[in-house]
Amino acid sequence: MIRTLVLLLLLTFISMAQSEDIGLRKLLDSQTAAWNRGDLVAFMQGYWHSPEVTFFSGDTITKGWELTLERYRNKYQSVGKEMGRLSFTDENIQMLGSNAALVTARWHLQMSDGKRLEGLTTLLCKRLPEGWRIVHDHSS
């Protein structure tokens, strides 16, 4: 009886962890697809829509959803700029609990002129009432 209960609890935990991972994977895949369509507003739906969301890049700290969207627009959609084609490798999702996760990856941008940009990203994600969202992004 105890073995059955332990096994049931273990299977429940594994199932919950897999569904959490699937939710995060869906968020990341949706963001990549939105980026590759050139749709920054849809891309930003993966971020917590709050003045408290943070984005670190280089020596710059951006705080707030609107300011983060503006940063992306200035960097990738202003005159003479392009977004490129986004992809990721070396992705790792580490659950920090049932409502928090740390995502690390290497990002790649393939530009139309053949130039390739790449760097690293660390995302702190939280499960909010509206689903999984990025609450902190550190990309370099």
Which pLDDT tens digit goes with each residue over 33-78?
999 999 999 999 999 999 999 999 999 999 999 999 999 999 999 8
Look up the pTM and report it: 0.84
CATH number for 2-139 (one of 3.10.450.50, 1.10.10.10, 2.60.40.10, 3.40.50.2300): it is 3.10.450.50
Indicate if the pLDDT at residue 16 is higher than 50: no
Structural contact between residues 94 and 101, judged by C-beta atoms closer than 8 angstroms: yes
Structural contact between residues 123 and 136, judged by C-beta atoms closer than 8 angstroms: yes
